[in-house]
Chains A and B, each alone.
Chain A
Amino acid sequence: MLKVKDLYVSVEDKEILKGINLEVNTGEVHAIMGPNGSGKSTLANVIAGKDGYIITSGEIIYEGKNLLEMAPEDRAREGVFLAFQYPVEIAGVSNSTFLRTALNEIRKYKGLKEMDAREFLTYMREKMKTVEMDETLINRPVNHGFSGGEKKKNEIFQMAILQPKLAVLDETDSGLDIDALKTVAQGVNMFRSKDNAVVVVTHYQRLLNYIVPDFVHVLVDGKIVKSGTKDLALKLEDKGYEWVREEEEINEGTR
């Protein structure tokens, strides 16, 4: 589904990603872990199409298409979804109006009939249950005055509504207490299926107790230095990122 090939990315002359290779297939959940500043969010943002990143080399192939050539909205319409680390507050637009507009843009693109307000309401009510979304948050302006936890829940709620094929969750666990974390994880687990894929970007192993990944990659200084199964995450939790760094240095030394 997603192939990241030898991707190099800079921001204002500073090289952030230094040759990323990653392959994600349908039905898989991948976790990308790494210390602060390792380039995790950059990778997530580049997949979603945010401005300000310079791709110096490499490519991203999504469903056989060159993702980097697509506008952010076309990526979304093709099924790419980014749950933001810092969701944006938009005063003056209600959450439900915004979501219906977004869903209908995607449906139009796919040649499906747009949902009218009534149909959407029924559909939305059903999805609200999956993340225990409060009714009052639906009618409030998008993320406006939401707590940190409510914002993150809203991202997962949007994912449930839009039903993407590839969901990238950027530090969705940050700032969540344990109850909110469980709710968010439950929303992601209900979303998981053999037809879609999830990439979880996180600093801590904690979230992975609830969203169990098939693969774990460790990103350090712009490179994936280690890949493995969920046991790798536990080892990281136990030994810290220093351990991978040291191993990396040993490997470099013996090469």
Chain B
Amino acid sequence: MALRKEIMERVYSKDWYLSLFRELEGSLNGEAGSDFHNMRKAAIDVFDNLDFPTVKHEDWKFTNIAPLLNYNFAPVGADKVSLDRSNLLNYLIKGLDTINVVLINGHLSRELSDISNIPAGVSIENFGDTIHNNSQLISKHFSKYAKLENGFVALNTAFAHNGSVINISDNCILEKPIQIINLNGTSDNTFVLSQPRNLIITGKNTDVKIIESYYSLNESDISFTNVVSEIVVGENSNFELYRIQKENHGSFQVSRTQSEQKRNSKLTIYTITTGGALVRNDTNTVLNGEGCECHLYGLYLTNGTQLVDNHTFMDHAQPHCLSNELYKGILDEHSRAVFNGKVYVRKDAQKTNAYQSNKNILLSKDVTIDTKPQLEIFADDVRCTHGTTVGQLDADSVFYLRSRGLSKESARRVLIEAFANDIFEEIKVEPLLEKFNSLIFEKLK
């Protein structure tokens, strides 16, 4: 039913999503008066008020989302796509046994997900079910971290229904990683709107690895993923998130990953982006306890007319914390990338160590990179560094490799892989490392 709109004024886009909200309300069967739905209604009001951001907003200065507003994206029913487990093979990580959570166009698929028969101390549930089954958990955490500060978060919150809730009990050391596989697409040229909402809560002394991957089911579909994940990393816990964004070249993704770290916790997030027409990631963390560590690693490989925008916000709210960010980009053809990293050190956050670096290699004259590392420091006893580099492949290195018999193409590839390599240095899970390397390899082919 979603048809491609003619080029229209943006105000109609907002109306389109407001009308989708009314459709949602119509389908709620009695839930419309619930406390939870009141939160949705509040969120849609915020969306109505804020609208989608434009380049006039400081945070969206370099990323014009206008192309996204040229389509009338709409949610599709869970029954629209049928897949069986054999279809999943393409999306699994070779050599790695994972607990899989499969979201198709945002809907959690019970058939394909491993939500029963999982290790003790772990619970995985469809977000919509948790609203009824565990309203206490929802009211404690939902929308408490990802604030409604822009239209996209507000929109996701207003439609919060699909997605996953992962709850990890105290002292749970999870051997198997959990993989949240997001698959978008239909086979009838619908413009798919997928708005997963994830809530991941870990208790004290836990150790968890989560892989969050995004793929298109076919090359021709155009989808829009507007995802919000709220993550709480419990005291003394280690949390690793590996994000793979490999949707097709017509798709859009706007994501907000908002983490809250408790005392002595360690959070590591990898974000590898090779696909998508327009990808905007907001990866925000509040270091909200003493002795926290947060590591963010990002790698984006762009070509064609892709645009990949990584915004990070590292909020040092407590003393004696460490944050470390390294984002690297390889841009080719007419593509664009944005990096905007803000490190915010609050007055009480003494003895903060914060490092931030963004490095880019430009392979063509027609690419654009806007990079902006930012530090805002209100404490006086801290150590913070930031830096950014933009350059080309070193001609002397290319010649050195060629003089040893490597073709020009393979010399370039070796150097690009080498450039990307230090992002992965700390990855201890060999199959994941191989997966990441193969993503680079495929993209450079």
Contact = CB atoms under 8 A, between A and B. Distances in A.
Interface of A: 48-51, 71-73, 75-77, 81-82, 84, 87-88, 90-93, 98-99, 101-103, 105-106, 109, 141, 158, 162
Given A51-B395, A101-B410, A105-B410, A88 B405 contact: no
Nearest to A82: B403
The 4 lowest CB-CB distance pairs between A and B, nearest first, are: A92-B418, A92-B421, A102-B404, A76-B405
B436 interface: no
B427 interface: no
Main secondary structure of the interface of B (DSSP, over half): helix
Nearest to B418: A92
Nearest to B415: A90
Contacts of A75: 403
Contacts of B419: 92
Contacts of A105: 404-407, 410
A58 to B, nearest CB: 21
A71 B402 contact: yes
Nearest to A91: B418
Contacts, number: 77
A91 B403 contact: no
B326 to A, nearest CB: 13
Nearest to A104: B405
B138 to A, nearest CB: 45
Interface residues of B, number: 24
8 contacts: A72-B402, A72-B403, A88-B396, A90-B397, A92-B417, A102-B405, A102-B406, A162-B405
Give the interface centre of B400, B411, B420 by most chain A CB atoms within 10 Å.
B400
Interface in B384-425: 394-397, 399-408, 410-411, 414-415, 417-422
A194 B381 CA distance: 69
A106 B411 CA distance: 14
Given A51-B395, A88-B394, A92-B420, 5 more contacts: A48-B403, A49-B403, A84-B400, A102-B404, A103-B405
B418 A76 contact: no
A91 B410 CA distance: 16
Contacts of B411: 73
B414 A73 contact: no
A254 to B, nearest CB: 43
Given A51-B399, A92-B421, A73 B415 contact: no
B423 to A, nearest CB: 10
Contacts of B399: 50-51, 72
A157 to B, nearest CB: 12
Give the interface centre of B396, B403, B410 by most chain A CB atoms within 10 Å.
B403
Contacts of B403: 48-50, 72-73, 75-76, 81-82, 84
A50 B403 CA distance: 8
A153 B364 CA distance: 36
Contacts of A102: 401, 404-406
Contacts of A49: 402-403
Nearest to A73: B402
A72 B403 CA distance: 5
Contacts of A71: 402, 408
Contacts of B401: 90, 98, 102
B158 to A, nearest CB: 45
Contacts of B395: 51
Nearest to A101: B406
Give the interface centre of B401, B405, B420 by most chain A CB atoms within 10 Å.
B405
A106 B405 contact: yes
A92 B405 contact: no
A47 B46 CA distance: 69
Contacts of B422: 91-92
A105 B414 CA distance: 13
A239 to B, nearest CB: 35
A75 B408 CA distance: 13
A142 to B, nearest CB: 8
A84 B419 CA distance: 22
A98 B405 contact: no
Contacts of B415: 90, 93
Given A71-B402, A88-B396, A92-B419, A98 B407 contact: no
A89 B405 CA distance: 17
A73 B405 contact: yes
Contacts of A141: 418
Contacts of B408: 71, 73
B405 A77 contact: yes
Contacts of A101: 406, 410, 414
A109 B410 CA distance: 14
A158 B407 CA distance: 17
B348 to A, nearest CB: 38
B171 to A, nearest CB: 38
Nearest to A93: B418
Interface string B25-61: 0000000000000000000000000000000000000
Nearest to A106: B405
